[in-house]
Amino acid sequence: MCGVSAILLGDSKADTAALELHESCYYLQHRGQDAAGIAVCQGGRVYQCKGLGLVSAVFNEGRRIVDLPGWCGVSHLRYPTAGGTYASEAQPFFVNSPFGLSMSVNGNLVNSKELLKFLDREARRHVNTDSDSELLLNVFAHALNELGKFRANVEDVFTALREVYTRCHGAYACTAMIAGFGILGFRDENGIRPLCLGSRPSATLEGATDYFMASESIALTQLGFGNIVDILPGQAVFIQKGGVPQFRQIVPRKSYTPDIFEFVYFSRPDSHIDGISVYRSRQNMGRMLAKKLRETLGEQVIKDIDVIIPVPETSNIAAAVLATELNKPFSSAFIKNRYIFRTFILSEQKARQKSVRRKLSPIASEFKDRVVCIVDDSIVRGTTSREIVQMAKEAGAVRVLFVSCSPEVTHPHVHGIDLADPSELVAHGKTREEIARRLDVDEVVYQSLEDLKTACIEAGTEDCEVKDFEVGVFCGKYQTVVPEGYFEHLGRSQGNKKKINKTSLSAEKEQDAARPVLVAGGGAVNVAGPREGQQEAHAEEDDEEHESANGPANREDISLYNFANTS
Ligand SMILES: O=P(O)(O)OC[C@H]1O[C@H](OP(=O)(O)OP(=O)(O)O)[C@H](O)[C@@H]1O
Ligand SMILES: NC(=O)CC[C@H](N)C(=O)O
Ligand SMILES: [Mg+2]
């Protein structure tokens, strides 16, 4: 689900863009734990540092920030949905031509294969990884280049962007930097992925204003930015050095349907997204769930419940309200290990399984001889719930009810969550009774989709424009057109990923092996991983003399683009 941000300081002599971006990464870390990166520019020269791991590891507890001077920049936290877990796919991506472009993408494209073919054969651009975000950047770069300008102006940027919307299908919210010129933010025409912009007075130049864009408002408010606005579906904003934001509707809005999973799980509760308070939406989910439990289980079963227990951390808010609504004691009976992070967004199933017990442990006395009602925000693969239920039983629970703040996840997610294979989903093609058996619980109850939507809508401000959401994972109907064969392609690339993970290094070893190596000026050396999807595309489509412009698969590659020289 990735976190993106961008900063432009009103004082272009200031040197603290990386410092602030680095800070923002901590507020967005929950959106991506696989890789992190920052690119900034000073005097038209780009400096970047990126690599695998958490923010603290990639930037060596912040010590690498000194290598990143400048007044504007972009940053990224990665949770992979395309490609694999390779340092070469860490973002921001950079292309030197034209003008030195750095880009951070949150989202997922469904026509990567077609884009790769276009970039390879028509645009003649080198694509270095299997990441769909690299494709998006190259489509933009090609369009900007085709304008044939020695220097681009703001209008050129918007014109080139139109090409991105035309060619790139899927959901995306992106931030970009044009070296020495300014920062850009844009969002898909359904507003599926989030992006907002805020401002604050410059601390070093009187009368000047700093601007910040990020996936979630919490990154802005914690850095002292106010006047927060959401970038709208199909809209872009460009802020030029020393300038003010220029908004442009690049393509007509198709819908205004943010991904409801942002409210269920992804976003922080202290964020507002598209005028909706994530915290309030989760409270409302708890309230609606109480109604659903009464309807589904009846008063007698409710009466027998001894205690309501959340699965930390995301479900805490909804569970507390559920307890109040049902007039039951609330117990923080699962203790979360503060040194273990989010489980769901880990790349490998083995790591996810291992992580649950490491992360959550029961206080036995809270379970012993009790009827417990365990609340989670979602049950996706069932990795967490199955493990949790066993722990509850080992601790002496006599009856276990499991309730979910969101409906059954039955379909793949195509807009930025790594969920491809429906057979991985615990609820796919199953009745409530079958799911209960699979989870080994006495009862399982899910929120209805309508109630979930209502919970989010009711958490919106009065002028909130959002009236519906992207809810494809719950029903199979997506806001964007999903091309035929896409799910099969995803399934194959997931299979490839599994193969790669099995045959290559273990997750931990890979982390170590791919640590970023600093080269002069703060760039990280990127060691490219296997490029299976790309190899496949070439293999299927032509037998020409490839190695093509896009190079052979499985090579070890050192990216050379740590500096961009523009004047
Ligand atoms: O059914 P599953 O496949 O296990 O996925 C669902 C679980 O994963 C998430 O927790 P996670 O540990 O990622 O994050 P959290 O600490 O924010 O709850 C989510 O909150 C559920 O607990
Ligand atoms: N979760 C995301 O937004 C992923 C971005 C991009 N598709 C990647 O895999 O790197
Ligand atoms: Mg959880």
The residue whose C-alpha atom lies closest to atom 10 belonging to ligand 2 is 80
Q: Counting beta carbons within 10 angstroms of the beta carbon of residue 83, is it exposed (0 to 12), middle (13 to 18) or buried (19 or more)?
A: buried
Give the separation between CA 325 and CA 289, rounded to whole angstroms. Answer: 9
Give the separation between CA 215 and CA 208, rounded to whole angstroms. Answer: 24
Confidence of residue 109 (pLDDT cuts 50, 70, 90): very high
Whether residue 261 has its Cβ less than 6 Å from ligand 1: no
CATH number belonging to domain 3-255+508-541: 3.60.20.10
Q: Which ligand is nearest to the CA of 417?
A: 2
Q: Which atom of ligand 1 is nearest to the CA of 382?
A: 1
Max CA-CA distance within the chain? 76
Whether pLDDT at 528 is above 80: no
Q: Among residues of the chain, what percentage have pLDDT more than 90? A: 77
pLDDT number for residue 354? 83
pLDDT number for residue 416? 66
Whether pLDDT at 519 is above 90: no
> How much distance in Å is there from the Cα of 61 to the middle of ligand 3?
26
CB 208 within 8 A of CB 11: yes
Whether pLDDT at 543 is above 60: no
DSSP character string of 268-281: -TT-EETTEEHHHH
Whether residue 486 has its Cβ less than 6 Å from ligand 1: no
Taking residue 420's Cβ as centre, other Cβ atoms within 10 Å add up to 22
User: What are the start and end residues of each CATH 3.40.50.2020 domain in the chain?
Assistant: 285-466
Give the separation between CA 355 and CA 316, rounded to whole angstroms. Answer: 19
CB 375 within 8 A of CB 322: yes
Ion ligand 3, residues whose Cβ is below 5 A away: 314
> How much distance in Å is there from the Cα of 181 to the middle of ligand 2?
26
Whether residue 344 has its Cβ less than 6 Å from ligand 1: yes
pLDDT digits (tens, 9 = 90+) for 8-23: 999 999 999 999 999 9
Confidence of residue 492 (pLDDT cuts 50, 70, 90): low
Mean per-residue pLDDT of the chain: 87
Binding-site sequence positions for Mg(2+): 314, 376-377
Tell me what the mean pLDDT of segment 150-164 comes to. 97
Confidence of residue 412 (pLDDT cuts 50, 70, 90): confident
Choose the residue to mutate in 29, 33, 216, 265 for probing ligand 1, maximizing ligand atoms within 8 Å of C-beta.
265
For domain 285-466, the question of CATH label 3.20.20.105 is answered with: no
Tell me what the mean pLDDT of segment 209-220 comes to. 98
Enumerate residues 6+ apart whose C-beta is below 8 A from 114: none
pLDDT number for residue 491? 63
Catalytic residues: 2
Q: Which atom of ligand 1 is nearest to the CA of 311?
A: 22
Q: Which atom of ligand 1 is nearest to the CA of 359?
A: 12
CB 109 within 8 A of CB 63: no
> How much distance in Å is there from the Cα of 289 to the middle of ligand 1?
18
User: What are the start and end residues of each CATH 3.60.20.10 domain in the chain?
Assistant: 3-255+508-541
Tell me what the mean pLDDT of segment 151-160 comes to. 97
Choose the residue to mutate in 91, 93, 104, 105 for probing ligand 2, maximizing ligand atoms within 8 Å of C-beta.
105
- Can you give the length of the chain in residues? 567
Q: What are phi and psi of 232, to 5 degrees?
A: -90, 165
Indicate the pTM of the whole model.
Answer: 0.88
pLDDT number for residue 30? 97
